[in-house]
Amino acid sequence: MTKHHPFTATLITIALALCGTSQCAVAGSTQDATSYADAIAKINRSHAQQPGRNKESDLVKLVPAAARTALKRVLQVKPSPALAPSLLQCGEAALDLDLIEDFGAIRARLVVVDPDAAVKLGKAVSRPRFIVRGIGDFQPGYLDTFADVCDGVLKAYDEVFGFTEFSKVPGKKLRFRVHLEPNITKPPHFAPEFPWHSEIDFPVADAAQFSSPSEQGHFFFYGLCHELGHVIAMWGDPKNMEDKHAWAHYTGVTIVEHLTESAKNQPWMARLRDAHWRALSLERAVPANQVPSSLASHGGVMAMLIALHDTVGPKMIGTALNRLDARNKNRRINLVRFYSFANFERELVAVAPDKRDKIAEAFGKK
């Protein structure tokens, strides 16, 4: 048995005592949080590279036992300066894989340890097709109502267009990041930078209820419908937006108009009145859209899309895009799908050959 000098033995005893308390707790929570987050990132990375037919609910089952044990230790460790950052790291990771029960446990612990950090992490509502994350002091029920609106909008996209995929990573749920701001300085926007899913950044200024338009004239409902159009399809490339930003406007006003009629009796539609200002019927009368179909201007592209809507119909528009996806006739930039109108025209002719002449006319070729 190795013998130590009395002084050395004393130092070892002190080090072991410290390691058994706060210092090891700090190191332990940091390492465990990283282990948990890394395990989730690995699952997401593998899925993004080869999505197959897995849904996010399938991916949840792949979280290794060691990662779950690591999270358990983070939740149970005594408070230390590193605990709140560790919990935040775990909370962000949990949302990256729709581990909503983990997220709830993490947030509950964070409320006790660091209430301000808990506000930063926010709250979350998970639905079959998306997660709504709310950051700010929202009134009870706000996020559920917002989720109801999202459900309604996605259902409307199904009914009108029939797109088969929304997220840039097949099988992954959409994310809506709703954050409370004192003033709206930027509109809602599709945030393509997230590696594992498609996310819409959604600032709001009213913590009590989701209504649109706001007193300041912000069309939040239309904005939601519009941004989902961007999630579904981008055109050209980031330096040359072939659609001149008309595609999402077209899909947005189409969905607003559809829901204003089809969902008018739904409770979540009661405060959504954007159709008075944003609707496909109104776009038909806009002077800027009364031009020949072309890819040269926003109005020209809108004229083309309205003509296609009236001739082949929105369901055929959706079918053509679905065929482009199935045949990988798109360009992936940060996994976001970019299409070309040349390929789109060919697919429209393929799915509606009896409308060949009308399609050519809509594209300004006759």
**Angle 83-96/65-76 helices, nearest 10 degrees?**
140
Q: Which of 178, 183, 177 is nearest to 205 (CA)?
A: 183
Mean pLDDT of 123-140: 97
Question: What are the distances in angstroms from CA 34 to CA 16, 98, 319?
Answer: 24, 18, 43
- Look at residue 7 and tell me whether its pLDDT is greater than 70: no
Mean pLDDT of 133-157: 97
State the number of CA atoms in the 13 A half-sphere of 343 facing the CB.
17
Number of domains in the chain: 2
Q: Is 195 in the same domain as 265? A: yes
Q: Is 191 in the same domain as 295? A: yes
Q: Is 114 in the same domain as 130? A: no
Q: Is 338 in the same domain as 195? A: yes
Kindly report the CATH number assigned to the domain that includes residue 257: 1.10.390.10
Q: What was the pLDDT predicted at 23?
A: 56
Give percent above pLDDT 90 in the chain. 90
Q: Is 226 in the same domain as 320? A: yes
On whether the CB atoms of residues 317 and 348 are closer than 8 A, the answer is yes
Q: Is 113 in the same domain as 170? A: no
Q: Is 160 in the same domain as 35? A: no
Among 7-16, 74-83, 256-265, which stretch is predicted with the lowest mean pLDDT? Answer: 7-16
Q: Which domain-ending residue is among 121, 152, 167? A: 121
Q: Is 155 in the same domain as 297? A: yes
On whether the CB atoms of residues 364 and 346 are closer than 8 A, the answer is no
- Look at residue 10 and tell me whether its pLDDT is greater than 80: no
Q: Is 94 in the same domain as 216? A: no
Distance CA 260, CA 269 (A): 8
Q: Which domain-ending residue is among 90, 105, 121? A: 121
Q: Tell me the per-residue pLDDT of 294-344, one tens digit each, with 9 for 90 and over.
A: 999 999 999 999 999 999 999 999 999 999 999 999 999 999 999 999 999
- Look at residue 2 and tell me whether its pLDDT is greater than 50: no
**Which pLDDT band, with edges at 50, 70 and 90, does 28 fall under?**
confident
Q: Is 302 in the same domain as 203? A: yes
Q: Is 51 in the same domain as 111? A: yes
Could you list the beta-strand ranges (E) of the chain: 123-127, 130-135, 174-180, 189-191, 199-204, 234-237, 240-241, 331-333, 336-339
Ranges of H-type helices in 284-355? 298-311, 314-326, 341-351
Mean pLDDT of 235-242: 93
Q: Which domain-ending residue is among 83, 105, 121? A: 121
Residue range of the domain that includes 280: 123-366
**Coil, strand or helix: which one is 191?**
strand
Q: Is 172 in the same domain as 81? A: no
**Which pLDDT band, with edges at 50, 70 and 90, does 27 fall under?**
low
Q: Tell me the per-residue pLDDT of 46-78, one tens digit each, with 9 for 90 and over.
A: 999 999 899 999 999 999 999 999 999 999 999
- Look at residue 264 and tell me whether its pLDDT is greater than 80: yes
